[in-house]
Amino acid sequence: MRQMSARWAKVVLAVGGLITTTATLAETTTQASQKAASADTVRFFMNNQVTKKYEAKQSDRALAESMPLGTFIINAYYPPRAAKAEKRSNYITPQTTYVTPTPRARVVFPAPVTTAVRRRHTCDQYSPSILQEKASIYDPIIQSASRTYGVNPNLVKAVITAETCFRPRAVSPKGAKGLMQLMPATARRFGVTQRGDAWQNVHGGTLYLRWLLNRYRGSVPHAVAAYNSGEGTVDRYGVHVPYRETQNYTRQVLNAYKKLANPQAYYAKQQQAVNQQRAWRTPQSAQGQVYNGANQTLSCRMASRRLYQTTDVVNSQHLRAFYYTAAQGETIYNVAWQTGTDAAQIRAFNRLGNAPLREGMRIKVAQCQF
């Protein structure tokens, strides 16, 4: 009996140990499978984030390549609202994550357009009376230098006009100084010790002009171009120096010289332009004939481009008439503004009042001679 009991006890113990070992093994297997699943989940999450980041970069690159050159693009991205964070005990959440941006607005700016630069006002555009007034304070010095070296005083004034517009303390970025902008080498060449002194500066510049006139046999354009760019440049290219600065300088000096030498012709030309403009805008008869001061029909050369663009042209034997088609609600003053003509002239052509014009009404606004 004792032997049987001992045997059964051993069997029971063996079976209990087997069950315990089996349970422990099962528990270890479950934990390993859970850890593997957690690692797979983390690996899948990271791969998914990397894939999204790569796709976002490819999308941005395709968008940039699809746009034409010279176009600036601004994409305003608004990320979606983040959901409430959930507790995940099976995997580790990374510290930095990439959220694919969602485009909500797109603004396209065209390439900058280069606009024309307005021409600045220069001193030579003043009238002869204003130029003489500016030169009056230095007139004794200019007359003295002109008599000494045999240079026309109007040419000296014209050079000063283009150089400094009669500012005695002007200094150029290249180092030229004084009324006639003498360089240090030129000043030493013609015996000028103080370039800031008006008397020495004007006498030195006038002597240099005399030397240039002798070199180019009295040619004023050659002498003026050489005064700006040097005699070596004029010897090489002639009067047509391929430098814009010298071209503008020569034009300004010759323009001022022409005004100062013959102011009567300048004022006569200005008065003629005023008379032509006044004749173009003022009718002289009920039939709408436009005359200038000499009782002749105005030439069609005075017609503006604006008038040709806004009207229809009808040619007769010797006259050209301009007709405008009125829109709804337009008045004579609107038509005058559109065509650049005068309201009184339009009223005289068509015998109209100040009432609004009928839509589609064809009215005559101007007339000229071939």
Active site positions, annotated: 163
Q: Does residue 330 contact residue 356 with C-beta atoms inside 8 Å?
A: yes
Closest residue by Cα to residue 161 from 203, 202, 204, 123 = 123
Angle (deg, nearest 10), helices 244-261 and 263-281: 90
- Of the candidates 225, 209, 192, 193, the one whose C-alpha atom is nearest the C-alpha of residue 153 is 209
Instruction: Please tell me the distance from the alpha carbon of residue 153 to that of residue 17, in angstroms, as a whole number.
Output: 132
Q: 147, exposed or middle or buried, with CB in 10 Å at 0-12, 13-18, 19+?
A: exposed
Q: What would you report as the CA-atom Rg of the chain, rounded to the nearest whole angstrom?
A: 46
Q: Which amino acid is at 3?
A: Q
CA torsion sign, 222 to 223 to 229 to 234?
positive
As a whole number of angstroms, the distance between CA 311 and CA 322 comes to 6
Backbone φ, ψ for residue 298 (5° rounding): -65, 140
For residues 198 and 202, give the distance between their C-alpha atoms in angstroms, rounded to a whole number. Answer: 6
The whole-angstrom distance between residue 265's C-alpha and the CA centroid of its chain comes to 37
Please give the Cα distance from 176 to 229 (Å, whole number).
13
Kindly provide the b/e burial profile for residues 233-272, where b requires at least 16 CB atoms within 10 angstroms of the residue's own CB.
Answer: bbeeeebebeeeebeebbebbbbbbbbbbebeebeeeeee
* Range 68-99 burial, b when 16+ CB lie within 10 A, else e: eeeeeeeeeeeeeeeeeeeeeeeeeeeeeeee
Tokens of 241: 């120096």
